């Protein structure tokens, strides 16, 4: 039939230049946030067995070199996770002036100044013997995570991180009111310009398992279902995001990312006026890595597809252990 079909979507897919011109989603270095584990008591980087190619860094030269290398590839944002050598019931190693995360923040701030935007994960799980994201109390023989007692500790940790040089505090505990408690403490101490990126919509997910090995932060008893969200819920994400915004969050986050693209889209459509981050978490990383190591799929193509999907869903920023690789792949493509 001559002249049929008239409308041919394939015209726009003929070659790379046309496809690039009409691509709806772009991925640049500005979209990436690199997570880094810093550990007390080691002298050289330690590979994390469940996360091949990801390392724990000592506070010192290897950390500086790693950040410098990524800076030269275009990475401008890093988020730090501390692994202390001392843990107790109240997370006191999380707010010491010379704690592992405070020393790391200080070192990076002194070395890089404002060249790097420094995020600090704010939580208690890596710093407590029980591994929970708050203070554990008992009613009779029944333990529970004491929300309001936890807020005091979270505010204290956040302040010590801001004092050490963090530009952005990222509370990941899912305690009710934690953003407001931190905002108030920061403001009271003159840190009115310190940003808060809240892990607003954080699910109780099995995909954090490799992270818990990496940070030795698996709960010693129970699970996180009384504070992290139920994976069966999507609308509840709107409530969590709204509360954090009312309490003063500057940036929202959905976590995990790849498994929750619908939630990313929902939060972005509900609050388009707020920047949204998404966390491509450890288990999501390790799944691709394992398949790639086995030769079951092409790692680069898989990671680029998934990362673009997270952007397409509505995330402005992506926290990903693939940031160092993505930074190279973006440079190659440009």
**Catalytic amino acids?**
202, 255
Closer of 89 and 111 to ligand PBG (Cβ) = 89
Distance CA 95, CA 92 (A): 6
3-state percent helix, strand, coil for the chain, nearest multiple of 5: 45, 20, 35
- Footprint on residues 257-316 left by ligand PBG (CB under 6 A): 281-282
Q: How far is the CB of 229 from ligand PBG (least distance, A)?
A: 11
By CB under 6 A, the count of residues binding ligand PBG is: 9
Does position 216 bind ligand PBG by CB under 6 A?
no
Of 121 and 163, CB closest to ligand PBG = 121
CA dist 273 and 29 (Å) reads 21
121 is a contact residue toward ligand PBG (CB under 6 A): yes
Would you state the structure tokens that stand for residue 236, as one six-digit string?
Answer: 């509840």
182-201: contacts with ligand PBG (CB under 6 A): none
Strands (E) across 28-141 are located at: 32-39, 46-47, 55-58, 77-83, 117-122, 135-139
Residue selected from 29, 73, 109, 212 as contacting ligand PBG according to rule CB under 6 A: 212
- Min dist CB 233 to ligand PBG, Å, is 17
Q: Are 159 and 185 in contact (CB under 8 A)?
A: yes
Q: Which residues, numbered 124-143, are part of the site for ligand PBG (CB under 6 A)?
A: 125
| Tokens coding 62 | 């290897």
Q: Is 211 among the residues that bind ligand PBG (CB under 6 A)?
A: yes
Residue 28, number of CB atoms within 10 A of its CB = 12
Which residues does residue 168 pair with via DSSP β-bridges, in sequence order?
119, 195
CA-based nearest residue to 211, from 75, 19, 81? 81
Give the shortest CB-217-to-ligand PBG separation in angstroms.
6
If binding is defined by CB under 6 A, does position 123 make contact with ligand PBG? yes
Q: Which residues bind ligand PBG (CB under 6 A)?
A: 121, 123, 125, 172, 208, 211-212, 281-282
């Amino acid at each position: 039939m001559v002249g049929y079909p008239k409308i041919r979507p394939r015209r726009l897919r003929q070659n790379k230049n046309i496809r690039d011109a009409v691509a709806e989603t772009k991925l640049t270095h500005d979209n990436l946030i690199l997570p880094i584990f810093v550990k007390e008591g080691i002298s050289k980087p330690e590979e994390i067995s469940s996360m091949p190619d990801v390392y724990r860094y000592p506070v010192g030269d290897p950390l500086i070199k790693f950040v410098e290398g990524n800076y030269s590839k275009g990475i401008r944002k890093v988020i730090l996770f501390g692994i202390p050598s001392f843990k107790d019931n109240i997370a006191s190693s999380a707010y010491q002036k010379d704690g592992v995360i405070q020393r790391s923040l200080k070192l990076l701030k002194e070395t890089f100044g404002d060249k790097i935007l420094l995020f600090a994960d704010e939580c208690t799980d890596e710093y407590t013997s029980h591994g929970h994201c708050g203070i554990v109390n008992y009613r009779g023989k029944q333990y529970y995570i004491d929300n309001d007692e936890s807020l005091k500790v979270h505010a204290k940790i956040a302040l010590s991180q801001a004092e050490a040089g963090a530009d952005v505090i990222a509370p990941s505990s899912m305690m009710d009111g934690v953003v407001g408690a931190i905002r108030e403490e920061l403001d009271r101490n003159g840190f009115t310009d310190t940003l808060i990126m809240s892990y607003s919509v954080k699910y109780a997910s099995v995909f954090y398992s490799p992270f818990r090995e990496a940070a030795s932060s698996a709960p010693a008893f129970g699970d996180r279902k009384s504070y992290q969200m139920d994976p069966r819920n999507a609308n509840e994400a709107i409530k969590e995001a709204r509360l954090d915004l009312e309490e003063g969050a500057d940036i929202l986050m959905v976590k995990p990312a790849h498994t929750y693209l619908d939630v990313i889209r929902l939060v972005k459509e509900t609050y388009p006026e707020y920047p949204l981050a998404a966390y491509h978490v450890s288990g999501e990383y390790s799944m691709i890595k394992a398949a790639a190591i086995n030769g079951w799929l092409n790692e680069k193509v898989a990671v680029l597809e998934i990362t673009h999907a997270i952007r397409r869903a509505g995330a402005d920023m992506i926290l990903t252990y693939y940031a160092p690789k993505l930074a190279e792949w973006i440079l190659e493509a440009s």
